[in-house]
Amino acid sequence: MCYVLVFFHRLCPAVIALDIQASFGLTGTLLGVLGSAYFYSYAIMQLPTGLMADSWGPRKTVASFFILAGIGSILMGVAPSLPVAVLGRILVGIGVSTVFVCNFKLLSEWFTVRQFIIMGAAFMVMGGVGALSSSAPLAWISNLIGWRMTLVGVGAVTLVMAGLVYGFVRNRPAEMDLAPIKAADAAPVEKIGLAQGLKMVVFSRRFWPIGIWAFCVIGISFAVGGLWGGPYLMHVYGLSKTAAGGVLSTFALALIFGSPLFGWLGNRFGRKPVLIGCSMALMAACGLLSWFVDTLSLPALYTLFLLFFVTGGAIGPVIATVSKESFPIAISGTSVGMVNLFPFAGATFFQILIGAVLTAQSHGQTPYATVGYQYMFLICLAGATLSLVAAVFLKETLVLSPTNNIIGEPD
């Protein structure tokens, strides 16, 4: 349930972006700065989160930081000025930043190798529920009570969830007097120091292709789905906030249906082919959206946005699995956390860059020019092309027997 709130907080600006822009009188660049405040604060926290997941434990980590997220959402809802709103958004980003890494740390303790990616997919489905709630339902609620009261209410729900996590989550089976999930878990895990673990990750040749791929593909998906997709649909196609939210709800469909599919494909054919396929699909979507930027039918928009989001939104379980399988279990939190820094660094980069391009092409005026959105998708196409190059250099982490049974992870 925490991940429902994570995705709601992450994607809600796309639907209410123009309302926020009007409330504070923002240019596209400043709106990009506000939207990206979540992502750079989230990105910065990934390394500390990995270290805390390995040392302090997921339960205390998530519960403590979710309190910050609740406070941040309420602060943004009542913010009288842009700096206060940015501060609130930063607190939200910091507060929810621990959930993804801590969840996969929990999965590594509670589930087997084959179960890990499947449970990760189930986790992403919950993100899909959050993405769905941040699209058309958010548009309806914000029209009813305003964007400010909506964020205050979500902040209150986030605070309640912090208490539930602390009360019910346990870090490993032993804390509930249960037997280890697999025999290997019964043996002591080799202790690896924090500095040593970080060095093992950063200086590994396996690390950088994963990180660059996530920076480009997932970063692009979050930049468009989390901020600029809504203004594009409203400015270029004249859609209402509710109708634009309907198109953006394809992000939720991508998570709900794409995550289990990618989990199955990753176990069946390997992790690397799935990532290469996603890069190629994203290139196709970006190319078509840039070429036919203002002439697409509504069904075509739904289809291309679904393809756009399924490549970057639903791929999380595969990325987390590759990150976990590339390094020893003792530093799984650190490895997943370090890789998970890249999507949000990418989202920050692309949100600000796109905002600056839109502002420049429209000379600071709104609605933004159609050519600016065309450049937006060309920027995304360049990022998707770079991700394909990174995927080619990625090392496969799945080892299959001749009968396609998982027999372990490569050395």
Q: Answer whether 308's CB lies under 8 Å from 218's CB.
A: no
Q: How far apart are CA 299 and CA 246, in angstroms?
A: 11
Q: What is the DSSP code (8-state) at residue 329?
A: G
- Express each pLDDT in 32-69 by its tens digit: 889 889 988 988 887 788 778 777 888 888 999 999 99
Out of 117-131, 228-242, 271-285, pick the least confident. Answer: 117-131
Q: Which CATH superfamily is domain 2-172+193-408 in?
A: MFS general substrate transporter like domains (1.20.1250.20)
Question: Is the pLDDT reported for residue 405 higher than 80?
Answer: no
Helix (H) or strand (E) holding 348: helix 332-361
User: To which H or E segment does residue 6 belong?
Assistant: helix 2-11
Residue 182 has pLDDT above 90, yes or no: no
Q: Of all residues in the chain, what percent carry a pLDDT higher than 90?
A: 40
Alpha carbons 206 and 228: distance in angstroms, whole number = 32
Q: Which two tokens stand for residue 332?
A: 């799984």
Report residue 368 CA to chain centroid gap: 26
Mean per-residue pLDDT for 316-331?
78
Q: Look up tokens 């860059």; give the residue.
A: 353
- pLDDT tens digit string along 94-136? 999 988 888 878 887 777 766 777 777 787 788 888 888 888 7
Residue type, 167: G
Q: What is this structure's pTM?
A: 0.74
Predicted confidence at residue 322, as pLDDT, reads 86
User: Are residues 189 and 197 in contact, defined by beta-carbon separation less than 8 angstroms?
Assistant: no
Provide Rg for the chain, Cα atoms: 20
**Residue 118: predicted pLDDT:** 76
Confidence of residue 307 (pLDDT cuts 50, 70, 90): very high
Q: What is the predicted pLDDT for the residue at 191?
A: 65
- Dihedral (C-alpha) 92, 97, 103, 106: value to the nearest 10 degrees? -120
Task: Give me the residue spans of the domains in the chain.
Answer: 2-172+193-408
φ/ψ of 395, rounded to 5, equals -90, 130
